[in-house]
Amino acid sequence: MSRAQRIEKLKAAAKERILILDGAWGVMFQKRGLTEGDFRAERFKDHPVNLKGNNDILCLTRPDIVGELHDAYFAAGADISETNTFSSTSIAQADYETQGAVRDINLAGARIAREVADRWTAKEPDKPRFVAGSIGPLNVMLSMSSDVNDPGARKVTFDQVYAAYREQVLALHEGGVDLFLIETITDTLNCKAAIKAILDLEDEGLEPLPIWISGTITDRSGRTLSGQTVEAFWNSVRHAKPFAIGLNCALGADLMRPHIAELARIADTLVSAYPNAGLPNAMGEYDEEPHETGHALHEWAEHGLVNILGGCCGTTPDHIRHVAEAVKGLKPRQPAEREKAMRLAGLEPFELA
């Protein structure tokens, strides 16, 4: 099946049912009890800094484990699985001095996911599986100063962030992803650099892929870390005509629900949500049981708020299985229809009729 055919099937499936995304990756790697040797393997045996915790490097050093996790999530009922490339930019990988491996990580991550997805599609052709190229946040921000004494200070420029994302999306595209997922967005300007990197692929004659954008509301204020409300965030990225817009991470289902409801009210595209398994406890662990997550997200689906559901921090294949079962047979949300207007945003949205 060609990529164009897969994209058409993805869009068709989204009209028929609520799609299921996979769950957390970090918690599943932690359960494996991996050692420094797993992260180094032969390629990085003499690397000058520790690599344990750099989960993306496992695409190169333990591809078997990465493939097994894709397999587990597809078996649990996921329609879409993300590549293990959340931090695979030169800026993020600089923490481990592995900038030179960025292209290889993304290419390997996409190919591992593609192979597993294609195997499931061959086995269950009535339920094709899809691969989302994971493009995570950076440890630097374009919208906020890195120095409280200097509001104009920035550690990076827009061009540097754009170049980092461009390297990533080129490799993910070559590796065979079906769509790009810009996720856990805390800074909308960083997100715009990623969007531009994706849209610019068409200028090089590369096949355009759907864009899925997922922001993060960091606390009860209902704003992203860079200060935008949900509606202001949507107004800022709507020009990309995304396949889906949504929220993930930071909050459990209870606290995320009003913000998803707001997106459902205003977005003229699909709405996605993949909350954490509740809020972390005093030990930084997540206590929400799979059936609790499934029950909460069933209510969202029942009220017509969502098109795509999955899990973020603390969720496991068992959480995804319960979510898939909980929303089976429920109709997907219909995109909102709003009167035409010029809708702009700073930290707040504003509209010119």
pLDDT for 353 beyond 80: no
Query: For the residues 287-303, what does the mean pLDDT come to?
Result: 96
Work out the angle between the directed axes of helices 63-75 and 102-123 (0-180°, nearest 10).
40
pLDDT band at residue 146 under the 50/70/90 scheme = confident
User: How many Å apart are CA 261 and CA 304, to the nearest integer?
Assistant: 9
**Is residue 94 a part of any domain in this protein?**
yes
Give the single-character DSSP code of 101. G
Q: Is 191 annotated as a binding residue?
A: no
Query: For the residues 189-201, what does the mean pLDDT come to?
Result: 97
At 220 the pLDDT is 79
By the 8 A CB rule, do 71 and 88 touch?
A: no
* CATH number of the domain enclosing 326: 3.20.20.330
**Is residue 352 a part of any domain in this protein?**
no
At 224 the pLDDT is 92
**Is residue 49 a part of any domain in this protein?**
yes
Query: For the residues 50-70, what does the mean pLDDT come to?
Result: 98
**Is residue 345 a part of any domain in this protein?**
no
Provide the number of structural domains found in the chain.
1
Residue reference for tokens 């994209």? 7
Q: How is residue 294 written in tokens?
A: 């499934």
**Is residue 344 a part of any domain in this protein?**
no
Per the prediction, the chain carries an average pLDDT of 95
At 11 the pLDDT is 97
At 263 the pLDDT is 97
pLDDT for 304 beyond 80: yes
DSSP letter for each residue of 44-58: TTT-SS--TT-GGGH
By the 8 A CB rule, do 256 and 217 touch?
A: yes
At 71 the pLDDT is 98
Buried b (16+ CB within 10 A) or exposed e, 56-89: bbbbbbbbebbbebbbbbbebbbbbbbbbbbbbb
SS3 71: helix
**Is residue 341 a part of any domain in this protein?**
no
Residue 54 zone, left/alpha/beta (φ > 0; ψ -120 to 50; rest): beta
Residue reference for tokens 């219909």? 334
Query: For the residues 274-281, what does the mean pLDDT come to?
Result: 92
Q: Is 312 annotated as a binding residue?
A: yes
SS3 324: helix
Q: Is 249 annotated as a binding residue?
A: yes
pLDDT band at residue 179 under the 50/70/90 scheme = very high
How far, CA to CA in Å, does 190 sit from each of 59, 137, 240, 288?
25, 8, 14, 31
Query: For the residues 180-201, what does the mean pLDDT come to?
Result: 97
At 121 the pLDDT is 98
User: How many Å apart are CA 191 and CA 274, to the nearest integer?
Assistant: 18
The structure's pTM equals 0.96
Strands 342-345 and 349-352 come out as: antiparallel
CA 184 to chain CA mean position, Å: 6
At 47 the pLDDT is 97
**Is residue 343 a part of any domain in this protein?**
no
Where in the sequence is the domain holding 167, given as residue range(s)?
A: 3-335
**Is residue 346 a part of any domain in this protein?**
no
Strands (E), 149-243: 179-185, 211-215
